[in-house]
A and B are shown apart, each in its own frame.
Chain A
């Protein structure tokens, strides 16, 4: 199908979800009103590490309206530890601390009361007796042999230490003309949705059913709840018709859910926990990767990068969570868009006494891209080659696709040189450089940053078996069902919650495209988890590919049924019949319309061709394209599709005030066929805003005493409309050969390259002073001090 033949895909149609949101009629979890609901507030630890000697809740329990105070001891006796995924059985995690506190803010007890305000009041009356323990905050300190293990039973702080050698690394290093080393650090930041996490659980003892409503974005959520509570899988029903107020990866909420589900069963009433901002920031699933990269790179004087050794040391926080796997996913694009022939990658994850790290947009790819792009800038600087030229020389060329990288993933398609050329032409690169120089002549620090990087998309979980051989998962499917009712109207069922990605629009668009029906006439529903087809939720930038693919193929199946019915009615071979917008036409020009087809499908079994089911419905469960094998020899095909983005940024700041200003931001974006241009544009712009935050503002900072310093929005700064500039997007479309319409993912776009580009721009601005920046977020106060020092020294 070519663009010209498409009626709805890639057209600028409105996003259907927007109507209910602008009317204030979104249905977020905190909006649900359930009679008899009890409310939870949490008693949090003030110490980063301590042994729990006793918890005295008598005063709290004596307060009017207080129903229960739950401790980790009681809870851990009733539920299994939360899933971890690594083979570290002695790093056990429960929703509440058991015996030992491992970070400041960790939940020690849960107070249940008739209102949230009462629960908060009572939480202050719970006395926790503790004995302080030594703690460690820094990842490198945690690695020291004498460091206190966060989990003494585990024996050390090392959760994961795997070294992969892909290709002839030693030979390539020996043969290369030049080498250099660098260290860059990615600060602990996250996507911090404006809605905190919330969950409501209700137990029905007569049906033995646990109903859950949550602001969730989590694969296998219902399964994990059932396992933790030792319930049958079909006794947990997650309601997917809850709008999620932003997630971008972090809304995992399993510990919250296990906690309230246990309480709902115990107390026989609905129980709800809506985090307040403090609970969210210090102990919710709020914090993201924190990583130190040590890189050695081997290259020739002509700029050819031959080989790279990368060690990534990740600070997971107090428990394993999903953090270690965020070191695994970037393996699928470990060389970025470049032809680097061999790679050594050492992935290390350590526990410290910080809050647990959770999944964040890109699942570790943004930090890795920042490291790769900084490396490319350093190589260019070392050789005195223009940064763009260096990249051009190393980029994979359009004719080389499909291209297999050393770690085993094959990139599906791309045309990186063309995207870059289009961006440079759009931005008038020469004029941009002249503008930079003009700003410099005015006495400002001015610099241009560039970043070329990939967004692996179509998420599976290949990193799990790669990092844990006991894990044998290769299946990572998504399902959708399409029905035509007896009145001829089309309904598509999708089986997940959404947090702003526009999945209803996506499903309606692709089904409309397949059936030739106006998507606005198609209803999209979200059955609960027990009525749903299997799926894995919108992680890993996968839904355009996976939900789009499943819905399109279910619709195509339905179309085949319609063609069979029409052909049978006209007495012709279905292969000779054509389908157009709901009408089946025979070669001789006769035709049968929609109403008649629907009538036969629903009411006239006697007119159905043999082998056709009555009722006009079709389901399709799609496996991730290319997801056919387990890892072998430390190599695996990670995600199937690879979107490309190229960032070009001009920044300026006063050397004394150092208030960074983005003067121009252009991004070239190629995510294959775009299903809905508004949605993809929004994702990209929003991703860039996140990237600006990660580069310049956002960090979960801990002091030396192990206390989180950024507990509120007054301290954890996020970009406002002043900090995020207007961004110009230059489109390019290299369709993926692996997907229904040629689409690739775009849910992480912008974020994956913006931090690298901004860091590069600041670095370029500082080049006259010979100052190096190597840490995000960039602390502009430090930069102005450094400039002042450099000036004094000169």
Chain B
């Protein structure tokens, strides 16, 4: 089925089998492997992407349903030259990850939160990532990363979530 997908600002029309999830379309169809499969039944959050700015589990929607929506993956946060965006950099600063497998989903969940809440407290951060399971970190350094990112966004004049650290 011909589907128009807008991923990280680029629009492409591709042929998508109706039963294929958005997760599989991103990974296999578009080669965007930053989005990971953990459970494929909507619990772990590893497959989280942003759809119109909201964190969505890409294993729970079909590729054809994404037609016309604005989809963002972690690949879209960087410009490819080795510079990280403010949230990514904060995750590095606090070591908010180990194996990295849940990390794309965590970073996008953080983006979705920071877009609507510039000064989240710890409870709000924990709530925002509570649908993303991390088996490595015990979450604390992730919470710290998001706190740090929020603070840096607040205290910077120019940077917004999604923008690149100079």
**Interface, chain A (partner B; CB < 8 A):** 14-15, 17-26, 28, 30-31, 33, 117, 191-196, 243-248, 276-277, 499-502, 678-679, 681-683, 685-690, 712-714, 718, 720-722, 724, 726-727, 750
User: Which chain A residue lies CB-closest to B140?
Assistant: A685
Secondary structure of the B side of the interface?
Answer: loop
- Would you call A685 and B36 a contact (CB within 8 A)? no
A686 CA / B31 CA spacing, docked (Å): 31
The interface residues of chain A lying within 8 Å CB-to-CB of B140 are 685, 724, 726-727
The one of A23, A30, A195, A690 in contact with B99, judged by C-beta atoms closer than 8 angstroms, is A195
Residue among B101, B129, B142 with the highest chain A CB neighbour number at 10 A: B101
B153 to chain A minimum Cβ distance, whole angstroms, is: 16
**Minimum-distance CB pairs A-B, first 7:** A24-B34, A21-B100, A245-B101, A500-B98, A500-B99, A24-B74, A685-B138
Q: Mark B50-93, 1 if CB is under 8 A from A, else 0.
A: 00000000000000000000000111011000001000110111
> Is B139's CB under 8 angstroms from A689's CB?
yes
List of B residues within 8 angstroms of A712 by Cβ: 39, 41, 43
CB <8 Å contact, A19 and B84: yes
Contact yes or no, A686 B135, CB < 8 A: yes
B46, B100, B133: which has the most chain A beta carbons within 10 Å?
B100
6 additional contacts (CB under 8 A) given A194-B99, A682-B136: A18-B91, A117-B19, A117-B20, A191-B135, A685-B137, A713-B41
Task: Tell me, yes or no, whether B33 is within 8 Å of chain A by CB.
Answer: yes
B95 to A500, Cβ gap below 8 A?
no
Residue B162 CB within 8 A of the other chain: no
A246 to B122, CA, bound (A): 26
- Which chain B positions have C-beta within 8 A of A33? 31
A245 to B139, CA, bound (A): 16
Given contacts A722-B126, A727-B138, contact A22 B103 (CB under 8 A): yes
Decide if B114 is an interface residue (CB 8 Å cutoff).
Answer: no
Decide if B141 touches A277 in the complex (CB within 8 Å): no
A residues near B139, Cβ cutoff 8 Å: 685, 689, 720-721, 724
A246 — nearest CB in chain B belongs to which residue?
B99
Question: Which chain A residue lies CB-closest to B98?
Answer: A500
Evaluate contact between B135 and A690: CB separation under 8 angstroms: yes
Q: Looking at the complex, which one of A18, A195, A276 makes contact with B97 (CB distance below 8 Å)?
A: A18
- Contact at A248–B92, with CB atoms within 8 Å? no
Q: Is the CB of A682 within 8 A of B95?
A: yes
CB nearest to B134 among chain A residues? A194
Determine if B143 is an interface residue (Cβ-Cβ < 8 Å): yes
Q: Which residues on B sit within 8 Å (CB–CB) of A246? A: 98-99, 101, 135-136
Is B75 a contact partner of A24 (Cβ separation < 8 A)?
yes
* Docked CA distance A15–B74 (Å): 20
Collect the chain B residues with CB atoms within 8 Å of residue A19's CB. 84, 92
Q: With A245-B99, A721-B126 in contact, do A192 and B91 touch (Cβ < 8 Å)?
A: no
**Dominant SS among interface residues on chain A:** loop
- In the complex, whether B4 has a CB less than 8 A from a CB of chain A is no
Residue of B whose beta carbon sits closest to that of A21: B100
Given A19-B84, A245-B99, A720-B131, the answer on whether A688 and B138 have CB atoms closer than 8 Å is: yes
7 pairs, A vs B, C-beta closer than 8 Å = A21-B99, A28-B33, A245-B100, A689-B138, A713-B133, A724-B138, A724-B139
B59 to chain A, nearest CB (A): 10
Rounded to whole Å, the gap between the CB of B103 and the closest CB of chain A is 5
A721 to B135, CA, bound (A): 11
A713 near B143: Cβ-Cβ < 8 Å: no
Q: Is the CB of B135 within 8 A of A277?
A: no
Determine if B37 is an interface residue (Cβ-Cβ < 8 Å).
yes
Q: Does B5 reach chain A (CB closer than 8 Å)?
A: no
**Contact partners of A502 in chain B: CB under 8 A:** 98
Q: Is B163 an interface residue (CB 8 A)?
A: no
Please tell me if the beta carbons of A720 and B133 are within 8 angstroms of each other in the complex: yes
Closest to A690 in B: B135
Given contacts A24-B75, A245-B101, A246-B136, contact A682 B92 (CB under 8 A): no
| Chain A CB within 10 A, most for which of B17, B20, B77, B134 | B134
Contacts of A22 on B, CB cut-off 8 Å? Answer: 74, 84, 88-89, 91-92, 97, 100, 103, 107
Chain B neighbourhood of A21, CB < 8 A: 97, 99-100, 103
Chain B contacts for A681, CB-based, 8 A: 95, 141
Of the residues B84, B126, B132, contact of A23 by C-beta under 8 Å: B84
B11, CB-defined interface residue at 8 Å:
no
